């Protein structure tokens, strides 16, 4: 029997690839600087038995049906945001995923964005590289305080709680909203106060978004919500891009209804509004939430664990549609 063919949409940790090469013929898109265009993804899928995809890859019905012999999708995704799992299930294609192991790394980038936009760190770096040095006590780059301010968390799951711990380290007052209020003893461990969503927006100096993406949370932040925030407040998004209606964010920033934004995710990722790119009070990072070398290596090994399990006919670590699992080879 010939070895299974696996296509990997971008390079992953070499230690994980070495394990995969031991059991399969592996083809890799070597360009890690950009998302593989859909037409190239489809061409590659036609040559593969298993697609090993990353979070940014859109695996829709067109991709899944490009090769009738495609047997599985092994995804480095926790949720199914960009994968048509219903279509995969209909086609009998199992889709594996990874456990939620990115909590601390995502909380780190969240707080990094918060500090960068409040204290003009990214803007200061840009100006200094252009030879601009306003002076150590100039108000030219004076920003906003973080310590002692109110951190409002929209969503208080794993990542929201990790951000709360970082906020408490900066002496911030933590308020939160979530569909499920924590028991009083758990709230006390974070010294956090529960509020309605609207009251969090009104009170917070920094609104940090952490809901899961769903039809209910798409455009959770739009014109009406930005209007509730303080003119001196910032919004930080490390959850999913469509949680914010990007056009409404642009309107709020242009009208100075809020002070700024720190974004790691975007509504039409990888595209971002040119208006946001041009704004000095907006810090943008290209979805770096889990971009920690040790973590990414661990994530790659979990994906390879899943892929090898599929090849060997064993249960994968995690699967989004276990009803599609069967002997593939």
Enzyme catalytic residues: 240, 269, 287
Local structure of 36: helix, strand or coil: coil
Q: How far apart are CA 263 and CA 114, in angstroms?
A: 9
| Residue among 37, 6, 18 nearest 297 (CA) | 18
Residue 270 has φ and ψ, to the nearest 5°, of -90, 0
CB proximity list for 39: less than 8 A, separation 6 or greater: none
The rounded distance, in Å, linking the Cα atoms of 17 and 123 is: 38
Q: Residue 193 is encoded by which pair of tokens? A: 């106060």
Cis amide linkage into residue 105, ω under 30° from 0: no
Enumerate residues 6+ apart whose C-beta is below 8 A from 71.
Answer: 4, 49, 50, 93, 310, 328, 329
Q: Are 70 and 94 in contact (CB under 8 A)?
A: no
User: Cβ distance 151 to 174 under 8 Å?
Assistant: yes
Quick check: helix, strand or coil at residue 10? Answer: coil
**84, 113, 265, 286 from 271: Cα distances, Å:** 21, 19, 10, 10
Residues in Cβ contact with 169 at an 8 Å cutoff, skipping those fewer than 6 apart: none
What's the length of the chain? 329
Based on DSSP, count helices (H) and strands (E) in the chain, helices before strands. Answer: 13, 12
Give residues with Cβ within 8 angstroms of 230, minimum separation 6. Answer: 202, 204, 205, 258, 259
């Amino acid at each position: 029997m010939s070895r299974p063919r696996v296509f990997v949409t971008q390079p992953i940790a070499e230690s994980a690839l070495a394990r995969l090469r031991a059991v399969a013929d592996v083809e890799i898109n070597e360009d890690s600087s950009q998302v593989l265009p859909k037409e190239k993804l489809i061409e590659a899928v036609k040559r593969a038995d298993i697609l090993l995809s990353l979070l940014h890859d859109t695996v829709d019905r067109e991709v899944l049906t490009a090769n009738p012999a495609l047997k599985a999708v092994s995804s480095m995704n926790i949720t199914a945001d960009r994968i048509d799992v219903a279509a995969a299930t209909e086609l009998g294609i199992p889709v594996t995923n990874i456990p939620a192991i990115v909590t601390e790394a995502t909380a780190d980038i969240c707080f990094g964005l918060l500090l960068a936009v409040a204290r003009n760190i990214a803007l200061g770096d840009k100006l200094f590289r252009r030879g601009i040095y306003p002076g150590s006590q100039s108000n030219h780059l004076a920003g906003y305080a973080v310590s002692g301010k109110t951190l409002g968390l929209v969503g208080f799951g794993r990542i929201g709680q990790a951000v709360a711990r970082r906020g408490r380290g900066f002496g911030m007052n933590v308020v939160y909203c979530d569909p499920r209020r924590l028991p009083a003893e758990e709230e006390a461990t974070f010294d956090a106060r529960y509020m309605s969503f609207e009251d969090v927006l009104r009170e917070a100096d920094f609104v940090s978004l952490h809901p899961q993406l769903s039809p209910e949370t798409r455009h959770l932040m739009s014109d009406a919500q930005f209007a509730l925030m303080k003119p001196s407040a910032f919004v930080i998004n490390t959850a999913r891009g469509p949680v914010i209606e990007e056009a409404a964010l642009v309107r709020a920033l242009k009208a100075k209804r809020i002070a700024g934004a720190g974004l790691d995710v975007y509504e039409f990722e990888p595209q971002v509004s040119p208006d946001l790119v041009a704004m000095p009070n907006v810090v943008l990072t290209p979805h770096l939430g889990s971009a920690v070398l040790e973590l990414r290596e661990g994530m790659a090994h979990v994906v390879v664990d899943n892929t090898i399990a599929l090849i060997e006919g064993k249960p994968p670590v995690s699967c989004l549609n276990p009803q599609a699992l069967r002997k593939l080879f």
